[in-house]
Amino acid sequence: MRKKILAANWKMNLSYADAQAWLTEFKSGNGGMHEVEFRLYAPTLYLHDLAKSEVLSVGAQNVHPSVSGAFTGEVSIPQLISVGASSVLIGHSERRLYFHETNAFLKDKVNACCQQDFSFIFCCGESLETRQSGEHLDFIKGQLEAAILHLDKAHLPLLTIAYEPIWAIGTGQTADTTQINEVHAYIRQLLEKHFGEEGSEVSILYGGSVTESNAQSIFACPDVDGGLIGGASLNAHTFIELAHCFK
Ligand code: PGA
């Protein structure tokens, strides 16, 4: 079933003390919003403590597809599970761009999640150049064909998709609702075409400079099921307020 999801992506921000303070503020402020699923994608080294608090569902910003082995600096799905994390981001544009993660590597991560029954948000989105060339839909289709459309239907409940146009991430420049809905509707059609009815049940989030001032119109788009929130998630109060922006 399509769920309303608000996912905080802290990226490489906040100290351990800041994270504890955020949690305290979140705990006292989110009463009664049971219709929205809150998730927190925090730095890996905070996951254990954040998950132990049982205040909200906690996930990692990255994972290696192997179960264990000589991969210095990496972390595996069993390790994430062992500290209470329940999901992971895959394919964020910053991982693709700065860490040269290829479609093939992302497919390995997706397959590892499916094999180990671990939920994930798969991120896709085009650059400004691709958008201006008018090829953004084909580009996004390519990203999904490379890592998602081969999945077995049985694994779809593990999948959430986030559409994040690269030009809107951290720039203060949000895609307008026509642009957002065009892409979300396109992704949903693709999922339906490949997976049938089950495909239409996948939640599709929007990400890229979502704030309190634009969230209401973005979340009102018929094919938007929530947001992947960077900057505006660093303050617990602001993050919670976004939940009030769902109709
Ligand atoms: P932003 O980040 O909200 O700061 O634009 C979103 C993201 O990168 O997930």
Place of tokens 């100290």: 15
**Alpha carbon of 6 to ligand 1 centroid (Å):** 12
Contact predicate 50/40, CB 8 Å: yes
164 is a catalytic site residue: yes
Residue 202 has pLDDT above 70, yes or no: yes
Task: Tell me the per-residue pLDDT of 175-201, one tens digit each, with 9 for 90 and over.
Answer: 899 999 999 999 999 999 999 999 999
Task: Tell me the per-residue pLDDT of 5-29, one tens digit each, with 9 for 90 and over.
Answer: 999 999 999 999 999 999 999 999 8
> Which pLDDT belongs to residue 240?
95
**Alpha carbon of 10 to ligand 1 centroid (Å):** 9
**Alpha carbon of 70 to ligand 1 centroid (Å):** 31
Nearest protein Cα to ligand 1, atom 7: 230
**Alpha carbon of 197 to ligand 1 centroid (Å):** 30
> Which pLDDT belongs to residue 34?
75
Which residues are within 8 A (CB) of 57 and not within 5 positions of it... i.e. 6 or more apart?
A: 37, 38, 39, 40, 86, 87
Nearest protein Cα to ligand 1, atom 3: 230
| Position in ligand 1 atom list of the atom nearest CA 207 | 6
Task: Tell me the per-residue pLDDT of 85-121, one tens digit each, with 9 for 90 and over.
Answer: 999 999 999 999 999 999 999 999 999 999 999 999 9
Cβ-based burial of 17 (10 A; exposed 0-12, middle 13-18, buried ≥19): exposed
Nearest protein Cα to ligand 1, atom 6: 230
Confidence band, pLDDT 50/70/90 cuts, at residue 157: very high
Residue 31 has pLDDT above 70, yes or no: no
What torsion, rounded to 10 degrees, do the Cα atoms 176, 177, 182, 188 define?
A: 130
| Position in ligand 1 atom list of the atom nearest CA 168 | 5
Report residue 39 as tokens. Answer: 């998730």
> Which pLDDT belongs to residue 1?
83
Question: In a mutational test of the pocket of ligand 1, which residue from 121, 164, 245 has the highest number of ligand atoms less than 8 Å from its CB?
Answer: 164
Question: In a mutational test of the pocket of ligand 1, which residue from 228, 234, 238 has the highest number of ligand atoms less than 8 Å from its CB?
Answer: 228
Look over the chain and give the mean of its residue pLDDT values, rounded to a whole number: 96
Residue 155 has pLDDT above 90, yes or no: yes
Instruction: Give me Rg for the CA atoms of the chain.
Output: 17
Task: Tell me the per-residue pLDDT of 50-84, one tens digit each, with 9 for 90 and over.
Answer: 999 988 999 999 999 999 999 999 999 999 999 99
pTM of full prediction above 0.85: yes
Dist CA 189 CA 141 (whole Å): 11
Confidence band, pLDDT 50/70/90 cuts, at residue 33: confident
Helix (H, G, I), strand (E, B) or coil at 207: strand
> Which pLDDT belongs to residue 174?
81
| Position in ligand 1 atom list of the atom nearest CA 210 | 3
Question: What are the pocket residues of ligand 1 if the criterion is a CB atom closer than 6 Å to any ligand atom?
Answer: 9, 164, 169-170, 207-210, 228-232
| Position in ligand 1 atom list of the atom nearest CA 169 | 5
